[in-house]
Amino acid sequence: MSASLFDLIVIGGGPGGYVAAIRAAQLGLNVACVEKEPVLGGTCLRVGCIPSKVLLESSERFHAAQTSLAAHGVKVGAVALDLPTLLKRKDTVVSTLTKGIEALFKKNKISRYQGHGRLAGAGKVLVTSGGGTMELSASHILLATGSKSASLPGVELDGDRIGTSTEALGYPEVPRRLVVIGAGYIGLELGCVWQRLGAKVTVLEFLDRILPGMDSEIAGEAQRLFTRQGLEFRLGTRVKAARRRGDACLVEVENGDSIECDRVLLAVGRVPNTDDLGLDAVGITLDERGRIPVDEQFATRAPGVFAIGDVIRGPMLAHKAEEEGVAVVEQLVKGHGHVDYQLIPGVVYTHPEIATVGQSEDALKQAGTPYRKGTFPFLASGRARSVGSTDGKVKMLAHAETDRVLGVHIIGPNAGELIGEACAAMAFGASSEDLARVCHPHPTLSEALKEAALAVDGRAIHA
């Protein structure tokens, strides 16, 4: 056992932890990062955001080659799926990016420790790996240990046919029948991937709608489009059990029905990762949802111990964790740092994409906030027509008296990229009139945002 003294030890090398470590090093701190996996990047890079986006892109191209290229005058003959190559490309993208973070750590002179990190009293972290246990010490410790897939009583995960998103990122063959439990971000993204690759996908959702929390008009439109693409939704369906039956699986739902399938994807949310973190050693107790309580400065009740990302309150999103990572370190070093929780965008990377920032219409109604609404369909966009992707719309919500933009919700081509403009405008307190008067390039999809802003005042040009 040896001891090293740092200014900051970050436990967890995901988007929250590695970004915090880099920002701290930029600000002159002597930083260590403890990560149990052999590669940096956390769930997002290894088994989350990045690999799923690779699969979404590849499956969309496979699907387009079969269905829409001919309309562009491109003849490709018989289209066949080479799943091993598709999966290998995903692995290559992931390893390139994780190595990139390793290089950033070297450039910023961050000390990397591979092993399980555990708090061991004030300013002390024990790192356990195959090689034994060592002790590190620091004036500040940042917990950024992320989250893990939630389990569901009765669903017997076997790491193979009944699994979570981790297994669904690498099925060795296209399942003939896939049952997805949960119509949230993960269920829809990975459900769409395997549906496009040829699986018959049934999505079982406990609530009477998909994408809980999302603007319900946009979520309804998404359900209609995904149904048209071939996904089957069974809403208001609570899953009681799922178990293996030989090479097949049997999923039982509350009304007594059972569904036989080849694979099951459990996607009913994620829970904070606090296993064996030594929280007792510093007097931290979890809240009712298993999260680490923090104040506005991300400080836990233990002096010198901070927490960010999926282990604390707020949406479990990589970019939220990154913002917190920068804010916590800037607060420590410069005395100020800030995250605007009203403006954290969310994107579902299906086809079409769904993107959202600010308040939903449902939330405005519930709060009794007076608002005006402008929508613009991609059907009326020249660029969407040329691309051949006319499903969906942009919806803008602005305060009825001040005209300040309160929410923007998009379902349609490149929605995830388009929402960035809305985030920037809202961060600067823009009104819908401001956005409507900005000259947008023609022909682009971004004009749909301008048109939705015009529509708030009933003066969209092309609709």
| CB-based contact 144:325 (threshold 8 Å) | yes
Cα(71)–Cα(67) distance, rounded to whole angstroms? 8
Q: Measured from the CB atom, is 278 or 346 closer to ligand NAD?
A: 346
**Structure token digits, residue 224:** 């209609």
Name the residue type at position 10: V
- Which of 336, 399, 409, 442 is labelled catalytic? 442
Q: Measured from the CB atom, is 236 or 388 closer to ligand NAD?
A: 236
Q: Measured from the CB atom, is 213 or 283 closer to ligand NAD?
A: 213
* Catalytic residue status for 351: no
Q: Determine which helix (DSSP H) or strand (DSSP E) holds 46, and give its type and residue range.
A: helix 42-47
Phi/psi at 268 (nearest 5 deg)? Answer: -110, 30
| CB-based contact 388:402 (threshold 8 Å) | no
Q: Whose structure tokens read 């001919």?
A: 70
Least distance from C-beta 137 to ligand NAD, angstroms?
Answer: 34
For ligand NAD, the nearest residue by Cβ is 184
Least distance from C-beta 130 to ligand NAD, angstroms?
Answer: 30
Contacts of 444 (CB under 8 A, 6+ apart): 383
Helices then strands, counting H and E runs in the chain, come out as 13, 22
Phi/psi at 32 (nearest 5 deg)? Answer: -120, 145
Least distance from C-beta 287 to ligand NAD, angstroms?
Answer: 17
What DSSP assignment string belongs to 338-365? Answer: ---GGG--EEE-SSSEEEEEE--HHHHH
Least distance from C-beta 362 to ligand NAD, angstroms?
Answer: 15
Q: Measured from the CB atom, is 349 or 378 closer to ligand NAD?
A: 349
Q: Measured from the CB atom, is 9 or 186 closer to ligand NAD?
A: 186
Least distance from C-beta 416 to ligand NAD, angstroms?
Answer: 8
Residues lying near ligand NAD in the complex (CB under 6 A) are found at 152, 181-187, 189, 204-207, 212, 238-239, 267-270, 315-317, 346-349
Cα(306)–Cα(122) distance, rounded to whole angstroms? 12
Active site residues: 442
